[in-house]
Structure 1
Amino acid sequence: MSGNEIRRAHSGEIQEIMNLIAKCVQVMQAGGSDQWDEGYPNREVISEDIRSGTLFVCTDHGAIAGILVLDENQAEQYRDIEWTETQGPHLIMHRLAVHPEIQGKGIARRLIAFAEEFARSGGYSSIRLDTYAKNDKALKLYPSLGYLQRGEIRFPGRTAAFPVFEKVLTDISEG
C-alpha cells in the first residue's frame, strides 16, 4: 500500500482536521482571501459532517493530507442557477481542503476523482460545487477536470462572489 487512502473521517480525528483547516485559513487570509475564517468551517460544522458520514479524508502516511465533504445539501442560492443537468440526484462537494505543506502533489485531484467515482456508483446525475472568486487554484483546477462554470452566487459576509461549477455524469457518450 502506498500510504495514501481516502476514507470516511472518524470522530477521533476532529482535532487533526481542525488543525488542517486552521492552517488553510492562515494561508487564505495571508493571500487576501476571506473564503474561510475562524467562524467557518468551525468545529460544530465538521463534527456534524463526521457524524453524518459525509466527511472524507485523504491520508498521506497516516496523517490527514486533505478533506472533502460529499452530500446532497445545496445552498438555497443554487436555485437561481441554470444547471445543465436538472434531473437529480446531484452530489454536492463542500469544504475541499489540502494541508498547505503538501499542496501541489495531486491530493485535491485525487479527492475530486474519488468524489466522481462515489457519485457514479451512487447513481448521481451530476456533481455541483461552489468555490470562491479569490481562490485562483480552484478556479483553474475545476475547469481542467471537466467542470463547467454555471454562474455565481453570493453569501452574506463575504466580499467576493462564489462561482458555481457542475460536472454532468449521466451521459457517458460525452465523457
Structure 2
Amino acid sequence: MDFIVASYEHIDKMCEITEQAKQQLRGLGLDQWQKGYPSREVWMQDAKEGCTYLAVEGGEIAGVFAFQITPDPSYAQIDGKWLTDGEYASMHRVCVSDDFKGKGVAGKMFQYGFEMAKKAGFRAVRIDTHPGNLPMQRALTKAGFVPCGNIRLVGGCEDGDPRIAFEKIL
C-alpha cells in the first residue's frame, strides 16, 4: 500500500468515501458525521494545507485520513487522563472505502500516521471517536491506541458533541 498527499484532483473520490462512511454511521444509528462534517470544504482546505493522506492500493484510493501536528482544541480538556503531557500529533477523519473494508486499510493508515509522527519528533498520537462507533473503537484498540477518557468537540457543526479520546505512545 502506498500513501500520497491528497490534492484537489482527489476531492471527488474523498467525498465519495466520506459519504460511504456517513452512511455506515447512520446505519449504526449514530449522529457522528451527520451534521455536515466532514464536508467538501473541509477536504478542500486539507488539500490546500497538505495535511490529508490517501492510502492507495492498485491505483485505487482505499482510505483517507487527516494528520495534524498542531494541538487540537478539543483535546485541551478531558474527563480522564492522557497518557502523555507533551506534544502530540493527531489523526482525524479516518475513513475506508467500502471496496476495501475488512482488508486492514485502517491499520495501515494508523501505522503510517505513527511513522510520520515519529519522524516529526512526537512521542504520541491522539484520536477520538463517537462513544457508539464500536467498529472504530475496535480498530483503534487493535492499532494500539488506549482509551483515555471523554472529551467534547470544540468548534464546527459538531461543537459540544461527546467523543472518546484515545492516545498511543510511540
Instruction: With the length of structure 1 as denominator, give the TM-score of the two structures.
Output: 0.87
Match of 2:57 in 1: 60
Q: 1:136 aligns with which of 99, 117, 134?
A: 134
1:50 matches 2:51: no
Secondary structure of the residue aligned to 2:30 is: coil
The percentage of counterpart residues that share the same residue type is 27
Match of 1:107 in 2: 105
For 1:143-154, list aligned pairs within 5 A: 143-154=141-152
Whole-Å separation in 2 of the counterparts to 1:59 and 1:87? 32
Whole-Å separation in 2 of the counterparts to 1:134 and 1:159? 16
Whole-Å separation in 1 of the counterparts to 2:3 and 2:142? 22
Whole-Å separation in 1 of the counterparts to 2:65 and 2:161? 22
For 1:1-175, list aligned pairs within 5 A: 4-37=1-34, 39-81=36-78, 82-88=81-87, 90-155=88-153, 161-169=162-170
Secondary structure of the residue aligned to 1:80 is: coil
Q: Could you list the runs of 4 or more consecutive aligned residues of structure 1 that deviate by over 3 angstroms after TM superposition?
A: 155-160
Tell me whether 40-49 or 152-161 shows the greater mean CA deviation: 152-161
Q: Would the aligned equivalents of 1:20 and 1:99 in 2 still touch at CA under 8 Å?
A: yes
Whole-Å separation in 2 of the counterparts to 1:39 and 1:105? 28
RMSD of equivalent CA atoms:
1.9
Whole-Å separation in 1 of the counterparts to 2:124 and 2:158? 29
Structure 1 residue 86: Cα displacement: 1.1
Give the aligned residue type for 1:70.
Answer: F
Structure 1 residue 44: Cα displacement: 0.8
Q: Which consecutive residues of structure 2, in runs of 5 or more, have no partner in the other structure?
A: none
Q: Would the aligned equivalents of 2:114 and 2:125 in 1 still touch at CA under 8 Å?
A: yes
Q: 1:71-128 deviations in whole A, cap 9, x for unaligned?
A: 134442311222221122x101000000123211000000000001111111112101
Q: Would the aligned equivalents of 2:124 and 2:168 in 1 still touch at CA under 8 Å?
A: yes
Q: Would the aligned equivalents of 2:35 and 2:158 in 1 still touch at CA under 8 Å?
A: no
Change (3 A) 1:132 1:9: same
Q: Which consecutive residues of structure 1, in runs of 5 or more, have no partner in the other structure?
A: 170-175
Instruction: With the length of structure 2 as denominator, give the TM-score of the two structures.
Output: 0.89
